[in-house]
Amino acid sequence: MNLRYSASRILHDEHMVVLALLNDLERVVLARKEPPAADDGEIGRFLGQLRGALAHEVTVHFAFEEDALFPVLIENGAGDLCDLLVEEHHVLRQTIEDVLARISAGTGSWTPQSWAGLRAVSAELVERLRSHAEKEEMALLPAMEEALTPETDAEACTRHEG
């Protein structure tokens, strides 16, 4: 897709990053049935990266979509799409909070129970967030390319706190 506006390109780039992160989450956490040892460096590094990336997803990416972009789209008649995406953000925020809480609780002493709990909620996150980002790539980006103007694009981009 040829994207004219910076706001669309910012979202597209962040979607690619989060989709790659979800692939890593599948490979590093979901594929591993046994709890890792407390000193497992790969798991420790990955979970640290995951925490930072999920915090960015909620506080920067979702906030940028909701506060800077959806108002422009609603003005342009795409209110139904925005309602659906906001509803998905709401569920995703809860799933992400659950993943972060389980990482905090389990880090340093994973047990079969705490690791199984992290894997279960991570599987839910992979499914929901992948489908959300793919939906936005297919529906939100074209709607933004339609609704934005050079002025509203520039204004929206000043509100992306990356």
Q: Identify which of residues 118 and 143 has a Cβ nearer to Fe ion in the complex.
A: 143
Q: What is the total count of residues that contact Fe ion (CB under 5 A)?
A: 2
Q: Which residue has the tokens 């209110």?
A: 79
What is the per-residue binding string for Fe ion in 18-57, x denoting contact by CB under 5 A? ----------------------------------------
The residue at minimum Cβ distance from Fe ion is 136
Site for Fe ion, residues 126 to 155, rule: CB under 5 A: 136
Task: State the minimum distance, in angstroms, from the CB of residue 136 to Fe ion.
Answer: 4
Q: Given the rule CB under 5 A, which residues bind Fe ion?
A: 65, 136
